[in-house]
Chain A
Amino acid sequence: EDQVTQSPEALRLQEGESSSLNCSYTVSGLRGLFWYRQDPGKGPEFLFTLYSAGEEKEKERLKATLTKKESFLHITAPKPEDSATYLCAVLSGGSYIPTFGRGTSLIVHP
C-alpha cells in the first residue's frame, strides 16, 4: 500500500528562521507529487507540482525539491503569515487520485 509520511507533525519557528518540511513516500511508480497549504477551516491551496527527481520549484519564500524517496519544502526567512498546515500528496501507478499525507503544522512567531 502506498505510504506518504510527513515530518515533523508540528514545527514552531521564529520569524526569519529558515527550515525544511519533509514528505517521504513509498510508492510504485511516482507520477507526481503536490504540495498544498491549508489554513484552518479552509480548503487546501495548491502550491507546487513536481514530477521527477531533481526537479525544483520556487514561489516567494518557498522552494520544493524532489528525490526518488522524498520531497522537501524549504521555507526561507518565514513570516507569521506563512503559518499554516502544509500538505503533501502523491500520485502513483495508474491512479489519478492523490494520496495525502497528514501534513505539517507550521507556526511562525513574530
Chain B
Amino acid sequence: EPEVTQTPSHQVTQMGQEVILRCVPISNHLYFYWYRQILGQKVEFLVSFYNNEISEKSEIFDDQFSVERPDGSNFTLKIRSTKLEDSAMYFCARGTGGYNEQFFGPGTRLTVL
C-alpha cells in the first residue's frame, strides 16, 4: 500500500498550459516532498514542505512552479506554463524529517506536447 497516492496517473497537456498535480497523504504527516524524474535520468528534488510551508527548494523550482495545501490534506504542485522539457514523472514523497528515509507515491507521468 502506497504511503501517498497521486492523481492523475497520466496527464497530457499542450505547451504553455497550466497543470496541477495532486498528492494525497494516507495519514497525517508533516514532511512532504516533490521530485521529478525525466525519462532515463536521475530523480531530482524540487521542493520540500513542512508544516504547511516551503522549507527548501531546488534551482529547478523556479517561478513557474508553486505548491499548495488547499484543503489541509491534499498537496498540489502547479506548473503555470508548461514547456516541452517539463515532460517527466513527478513524484510526491512523505517523510518523518531529519536524516530519515522518504516514501514515494506512484507518480504522475506528465507529457507536454
Q: Interface segment, B11-19, B63-71, B72-80, B103-111?
A: B103-111
**What B residues does A103 contact at CB under 8 A?**
42
- B26 close to A (CB within 8 Å): no
Q: Which of A16-24, A43-51, A60-68, A74-82 contacts B (4 or more CB under 8 A)?
A: A43-51
Closest A-chain residue to B45, C-beta based? Answer: A97
Number of interface residues of A (CB under 8 A): 23
A94-110 CB contact bits vs B (8 Å, 1 = yes)? 01111011110000000
- Are A32 and B99 in contact, CB atoms less than 8 angstroms apart? yes
**Residues on the A chain within 8 Å of B42, using CB:** 100-103
Q: A43-B107, A44-B43, A102-B41 are in contact. Are A96 and B101 (CB under 8 A)?
A: no
Closest to B31 in A: A96
Chain A interface residues (CB < 8 Å from chain B): 31-32, 34, 36, 41-46, 49, 51, 87, 89, 91, 95-98, 100-103
Apart from A34-B101, A49-B101, A97-B56, what are 17 other A-B pairs with CB-CB below 8 Å?
Answer: A31-B99, A32-B100, A36-B104, A41-B107, A41-B109, A42-B107, A43-B2, A43-B106, A49-B100, A51-B99, A87-B43, A95-B56, A96-B98, A97-B58, A98-B45, A98-B102, A102-B41
